[in-house]
Each structure stands twice: as structure tokens, then as C-alpha cells.
Structure 1
């Protein structure tokens, strides 16, 4: 079993504190310096954990103010699955991706919960910038149980996970999706060619096969000025 990275241990510890109500909705967390000292890690490692929790909508970072436990959002139920490649092609645009990170690792507690995994399981976690006609549209962090893709090449997975799974005879059924508003962090702003603090639409999605198994947990940040969601009722 792969050793759990330190930032994932910190992610899980911070999330557990929130779940135990040691920090409640709207509470400001201690400063990065204080938390880094508490966990005896560098501020860079601490920021990795904070960023993961922010991407999951658990924490909210406010420029010049600090990091807070995020407010609960009103949720809009959506149906179907969202494939970036299919959406872009349906609009006559050319989709492409640039992989910034791809590795097999131990899942975080959030990934285990959403993908119904055990602590002994491993996942593929990939980060990529997704483009339409060479314009950056979103930054995506996708987590997939390693068991689902062990026979697939990295090239197939990063080009279109859905097409790769369907080529293996798997049927994609539905997805649970949550959309919220946030602002671009310095890290994401660099990837998407926007300014730090620009408006971002954040999508969290868990996708399922027709047998009810979750196969993908995605955290995607879209440039608000370049993308909009359309719901049909």
C-alpha cells in the first residue's frame, strides 16, 4: 500500500475537525503559519491541504481575510453526465487538454467517501487544463479508482475518460453535480490565464456506471466569463 502523502493526512485531519464541529460554518481557521507550525510542515504543504478542501467546497479562501469554513449552499439537482469533450464537440468547437499532474496515490477521506473506497484502495488523480479552440476553459482535478483504469493507457484516460471506459464495455449512467461560485486562486489563475480573484464557477461531480458504482470524482473550476451551465427542466 502506498504511503499516504502528508498533505492528504492534513486534509483529513482538518476535515475531521470540521465534522466534529470544532470549527463551524463561517468560522475563520487559524493562519497558515499557525497551522503549519501545528502540523510541523512547510506552509507549501499546508497550502496543498487547504487548496484540496477549498476545491471540495469545504473551505472558502477570502483574499486579504483568511480561510473560513464554507457556508452550506442551496443545491440544484441536475441530471445526466457532463463530458467536456462531448459538450465542446456538440458546439462545433475543438476540445483539447494539457495534463499538469498524473499519478497513482492514496485517496483522501473525501475521495474515499465519494467513490466508496477503503483505506487500502488506490486512485489515479489527474489534474489538467481543458481548452476549447485552444482557449483555456477550466482546470480539472479528477480522481478515478485505479481498479477501473488499470487496463487503460494514460493517453486514453487523459484524452477522454468516458470514451475509454465505454470502449471497455462499461455503461455510464448518471452523475451527482454541485455548482457553486468562487474566485480564482493564484494557482488556478496561472493555469487559466485569468487574474487572481476573477470569478470562477466550481463544479463537483460524482459519476456512476449503470450498476450504481461511482467511477469518477471531479472538481472543476470554469472561467465564468467563458462558460455557462444550462439546465433544462
Structure 2
């Protein structure tokens, strides 16, 4: 049974809509957390979840001591291949592992509908996990996957190596759209990754597609800047 759309996702969608309709424009400072929590009638903790999700998606940008702003569009450079954490770690002779912190099926946010080409009545699996290399936390990952795709698989198989089970079932994985930007660790991310709040993290947003062009996964990952680097080959 799917959960009702969480309040923080409803707030996420409302703020995103305001930005898309140019009510809040690029570079604008949005109202404070206190003002927004009063406007939506929710706690600041709930409001903060929505703001954090929008920040993770690159829609908002938080500036310490200044406030939260509608983010400028970043310069993007095309990367090749699909980034699989498990494959990267194994190729470097390191042992990958993960700890699932949240796993549930729910109604999609507007961003998930857009990235995964869903209809509003479809559901998504939303999964959060900390990923490790040789027991050291490397990144925090939020993955969204169409529920119709995963209902034939067990939770254990999805969390251990999702790409591998897809390939074992005959799915052919194609391209991925990837965007990388720099940001600072929030309190939640810092706690999960055993770093300090405000430490540098690399943020990767990736939409992965099958070879027929269907999107099957939307991932927002934050890597510890001092423990991971991306290598681009042209």
C-alpha cells in the first residue's frame, strides 16, 4: 500500500512551481524558513526537508549566513557512461557496502514525474542509503525508481546491486544524464557521512535510461569531497 504524498513533497512541488512560473526568479532570495513554515502551516523541520530536497536537485542554493536562493543554471559538461558505485569500487579493488536509511513506495514529486516520465497516478520507490568503501562512508544517495519496475524484485536485491539484477533479467542499460556541482554538507548529510556540517561535498544528479530511451532511475548523490573524485575521459 502506497503512502500518501508527504507534506514536505507537497511543499517541494509548490515551491518548484513558483520558480517555474517565475514568481521567484533565478538569483532571488526566497522567504526564510520561519516565514515559509508559517505560510505552509508546518514545522520548520518539515519545511527544511522540502528545502533540502530542492537544494539536492540544484533548484535552490543555500548560502551560509545569507539565506536560500533560486539557483543559477550551472555550466554543464557531458560525461560518458553510467556511474555505478558498486562497479567503481570493485574496479579499484575496494569493497562496496551500503546501509539503507529509508525505503518506501509513495506518490512521486513533480521532479520525479519529470525526470522519470511518469504519470501522476504512478508510484515510485524512494530509497535513501549511505554507501561505503572498505567500511568508510563515501556518499549519501537518494534514488527514485518507478514502482512498476521493482515490484518483481526483493528489497535485498534492489539495495545490493540494482543494475546487476536488471541486466540479469534482460534489461539493457543505456545512457545516463549526469550533472555535477559543489555544495556544503547539511547537518543531516554530515551526520550520515561522519564529516562536519559545511564541509565540501560533490553533488551528482543522474537520470539513467534503458537502451530504448526509457528512464528507470533518478539519483541524487552527495560525495565526501575529500574521499572521492570524478574522472572524465574525452
CA–CA distance in structure 1, aligned partners of residues 111 and 172 of structure 2: 25
Q: Which residue of 1 aligns with 2:186?
A: 185
Secondary structure (helix, strand or coil) at the match of 2:102 reads strand
Q: Which residue of 2 aligns with 1:106?
A: 107
Q: Which residue of 1 aligns with 2:8?
A: 7
Using the size of structure 1 for normalisation, the TM-score is 0.98
CA–CA distance in structure 2, aligned partners of residues 123 and 215 of structure 1: 10
CA–CA distance in structure 2, aligned partners of residues 164 and 123 of structure 1: 18
Number of residues of Structure 1 aligned to a counterpart in Structure 2: 233
Note the alpha carbon deviations across 1:198-230, whole angstroms, 9 max, x for none.
001000000001111100000000001100000
Q: CA RMSD in A?
A: 0.9
Note the alpha carbon deviations across 1:163-222, whole angstroms, 9 max, x for none.
121121111111000000000000000000110000010000000011111000000000
CA–CA distance in structure 2, aligned partners of residues 129 and 48 of structure 1: 18
Shift of 1:125: 0.5
CA–CA distance in structure 2, aligned partners of residues 2 and 129 of structure 1: 23
CA–CA distance in structure 2, aligned partners of residues 39 and 6 of structure 1: 9
Using the size of structure 2 for normalisation, the TM-score is 0.98
Unaligned runs of 5+ in 1: none
Note the alpha carbon deviations across 1:126-171, whole angstroms, 9 max, x for none.
0000000001000000000001111000000001110121121111
CA–CA distance in structure 2, aligned partners of residues 222 and 215 of structure 1: 22
Secondary structure (helix, strand or coil) at the match of 2:9 reads helix
CA–CA distance in structure 1, aligned partners of residues 44 and 97 of structure 2: 33
Q: Which residue of 2 aligns with 1:79?
A: 80
Q: Which residue of 2 aligns with 1:122?
A: 123
CA–CA distance in structure 2, aligned partners of residues 165 and 51 of structure 1: 30
Secondary structure (helix, strand or coil) at the match of 2:227 reads coil
Shift of 1:3: 2.4
Q: Which residue of 2 aligns with 1:220?
A: 221
Note the alpha carbon deviations across 1:83-108, whole angstroms, 9 max, x for none.
00000000000000000000001110
Shift of 1:2: 4.6
Q: Which residue of 1 aligns with 2:28?
A: 27
Unaligned runs of 5+ in 2: none
**Which contiguous aligned blocks of 4+ residues in structure 1 show a shift greater than 6 angstroms?**
none
Instruction: Out of 109-118 and 62-71, give the one that drifted further.
Output: 62-71
